[in-house]
Chains A and B, each alone.
Chain A
């Protein structure tokens, strides 16, 4: 996750201070891990050093005085470039689920129990997300975040079902 690009993207709307950027990040990416204040200010300092944002003044509402940042031409070009790039699909299978299945076969000789338990855990989480998505007053961003998480959990569950069907093959390979 590129925090710098996300902050730059939020600054394309208008100049903002760090607290505002943190709040908007958490609101607009509702399923994401909330940004720590320290991370926001460290990132802004780096962006300022690289000439992508500049201090435009200070703002004081009810709390302390806050530094307001604006995006520079270089910053705008950088965020636009980032949006034209694609994420590289993960080159390695590094899922803990996959590792647990293989290790369950190696140490226990069967992954069936693990797969059943993991399915139940995934479905519990999917129930929470489904309820959250359907709750009255859920924002479009929250619905989209829940959809994203649900589709990924669903992909895991479909892999779990495939794994259950292939497990005999895998067991023979490990034992040979």
Chain B
């Protein structure tokens, strides 16, 4: 999978000094601490372990962090628009239509009592003034685009009647049907079998490249992100500790990234014992 040509001009999304705080009974938890990055029409990977803040970052971009969570940033600009300054109605216009998100497990992220087809069609009609017929037609097209072989039949199925891979493809169809410019994929293949993962990723890659979209790929799987994305951000404890191009991953400098790399098993360099990552408390405050 090769990197699509990047557009040099203004990035789609610019994030500067993003903080997400959750006040709780025992104190304030800071999930995201001063994160900043840009995304153009490229594939950006965000890698981190559980609790690193990567998922919350994705939600914060869409302003889906629910109270009592607090999102602040020096800049959160999408295509020239300051996302933090928009009111809720305007933000709803952005969600789905301009920025979309694919979530991890279709078992949970699809509405169990609606057919999958109607859910996709609903996504279309949210932002396009279309008749039911038109929406249905578009949905079938989209289902075919994600390589579902019998769209008519699948349209009528309920989420519990489809497999994980198919469900995730439905999810992708649903999130891409309004034609957004930026897609956030939050662990899109983590809930899938390994064999199906590759297929779904290929579909995602195809569609993203075709539409010239930007993609933010959030995952805990460093290998996967390295092979799929153009650039990589490594997050730890709410901060970004490393930024690099995917091709230059092996030259990563931060000890956390190096530790991760070393603890990944490699077929071409078998080791008797895989090193375990040793955490340095100083990483909590570091930044490159």
Are A and B co-members of a single complex?
no
Residue positions of B touching A, CB distance < 8 A: none
